[in-house]
Structure 1
Amino acid sequence: MELTAATVLVASVGVFLISFMRGAFGGGFAIIGIPLLSIVMDPVTAGGLLAPLFIAMDLFALRYWKPSTWSKQDLVLLLPGLVIGIALGYLLFRVLDHRAIAILMAAITLLFVGLWFVGGATVSIRPRSSAKAVAAGLASGITTMVAHSGGPPLAMYLLPLGLGKEVYAGTTSLFFTVGNATKAMPWLLLVKPEGNVWILMAACLPAIPAGVWLGWRMHGRLDQHQLYRACYGLLVVTALKLLWDGVSGYLA
């Protein structure tokens, strides 16, 4: 990868956008910033670049999403599946058809949002399910390792619980803090970043505090209903991006 001023600028904007999502929604929408990175590097290199930067975002976000914002009863159910899913994703990374996974995840996400829309675009609170939590954690672990799209499975479990907006964001934040710390080393082993990638990581670091802080400020301005509507809207954007990645991969 050639290190130019344009590369640094585009990558920094992409990292800022991901950091903003981290501060506003607790995480899970990293895939929205990846198209910008794909302008100046291939997706696999972008994965290696982002893996350590995710940890920096997580550490900064913990200043805002403190333990009082974590739904511990949900995290106890979600985290084991997440770690197992990341391990499975690492083992299957080279043999899985990434395009098919992207299309399947997009279809499931769009169906989930469609059902919410048909139901009047309101939060229909449902009881917790241990089986659904484990499945969501496992699916999120696999997709975050393979396609940087761990957000939809987690959101499909958490959104119907009707958690308060701070608890939703805080729980999501800690979930991806654990996930990003777990998948960082596997991604670095897969990608083996070159010297220019490490330099670019350092150049992108200043974008993280500003992005997380601005996202957190925006979160404070949203009420419960607005936050949930924004999350569902972002799920549509994420699903369409996954659908495009999958279909365009088959057409290429």
Structure 2
Amino acid sequence: MDLSATTILVTFAGVFLICFMKGAFGGGFAIVGIPLLSLVMDPVKAGGLLAPLFIAMDLFSLRYWKPSTWSKPDLKLLVPGLVAGIGIGYALFRFLDHRAIAIVMAAITLTFVALWFKSGGQVKVRPRSSPKAVAAGLSSGITTMVAHSGGPPLAMYLLPLGLSKQLYAGTTSMFFTVETS
């Protein structure tokens, strides 16, 4: 790995974004951490570099985000898709070229951003949907396994539910703890 000043600065910026935003806001803007690191290193190496950090953050977050802050009905719908998605992601990871992983990760991130701008930064509240929850869990599991980038699919499902900030943060915390287990 190239350890130029740019690589080190971008790595520190990415780690800071992930830690600060996930710790302070339960995810949110932290989804740009891996794509940011992918600018200076292979996305698979970026994921490997950050995996221990993600595991530690997820385990420590359970001390703060207690079961009362979890949306249990949503987790019941999301987790089966997550488990299946991790399995599919594992199979894809073994066969996909690293450049393909970077393209998939970029497409997911750009889709998330496009949907955000399309809505004008406003999230329209909609009811819970079992098929959308399973699809979100599945795609989050795949993208997490391939590139530690499972936040956008999960956010695309959870944000329109209109959950309180605490419920949203607790649910994402538990979801990603299940994911890293």
Displacement of 1:14 = 3.6
- Distance in 1 (CA, whole Å) between partners of 2:12 and 2:114 is 33
Displacement of 1:115 = 3.4
Identity, in percent, stands at: 67
Look up the match of 2:130: 130
Residue type matched to 2:93 in 1? F
* Secondary structure, aligned partner of 1:177: helix
- Distance in 1 (CA, whole Å) between partners of 2:10 and 2:107 is 29
1:108 pairs with one of 111, 115, 124: 111
Structure 1 residue ranges (4+ consecutive) displaced by more than 6 angstroms after TM superposition: 2-10
User: Does residue 1:61 correspond to 2:61, yes or no?
Assistant: yes
- Distance in 2 (CA, whole Å) between partners of 1:85 and 1:158 is 17
Displacement of 1:7 = 7.8
CA contact (8 A) 1:28 1:176 kept: no
Displacement of 1:65 = 1.3
CA contact (8 A) 1:22 1:28 kept: yes
What is the RMSD computed on CA atoms of the aligned residues? 2.8
Look up the match of 1:84: 84
Residue type matched to 2:62 in 1? L
Distance 1:90 1:124, change over 3 A: same
Count of aligned residue pairs for this structure pair: 177
Task: Render the CA deviation track for 1:8-41: whole Å, top value 9, x for unaligned.
Answer: 88655543331112112323655423335864x5
Distance 1:44 1:122, change over 3 A: closer
Q: Structure with the greater relative contact order (CA < 8 A, sep ≥ 6): 1 or 2?
A: 1
- Distance in 1 (CA, whole Å) between partners of 2:80 and 2:135 is 10
- Distance in 1 (CA, whole Å) between partners of 2:51 and 2:106 is 23
Displacement of 1:77 = 0.4
Bigger mean CA deviation after superposition, 160-169 or 103-112: 103-112
Gaps of 5+ in 2: none
Residue type matched to 2:52 in 1? P
- Distance in 1 (CA, whole Å) between partners of 2:32 and 2:124 is 26
Residue type matched to 2:59 in 1? L
Structure with max Cα Rg = 1
* Secondary structure, aligned partner of 1:93: helix
Task: Render the CA deviation track for 1:145-178: whole Å, top value 9, x for unaligned.
Answer: 2222211111111111100110011111111111
Look up the match of 1:149: 149
Distance 1:3 1:65, change over 3 A: same
- Distance in 1 (CA, whole Å) between partners of 2:149 and 2:57 is 17
TM-score (norm 1): 0.61
Residue type matched to 2:150 in 1? G
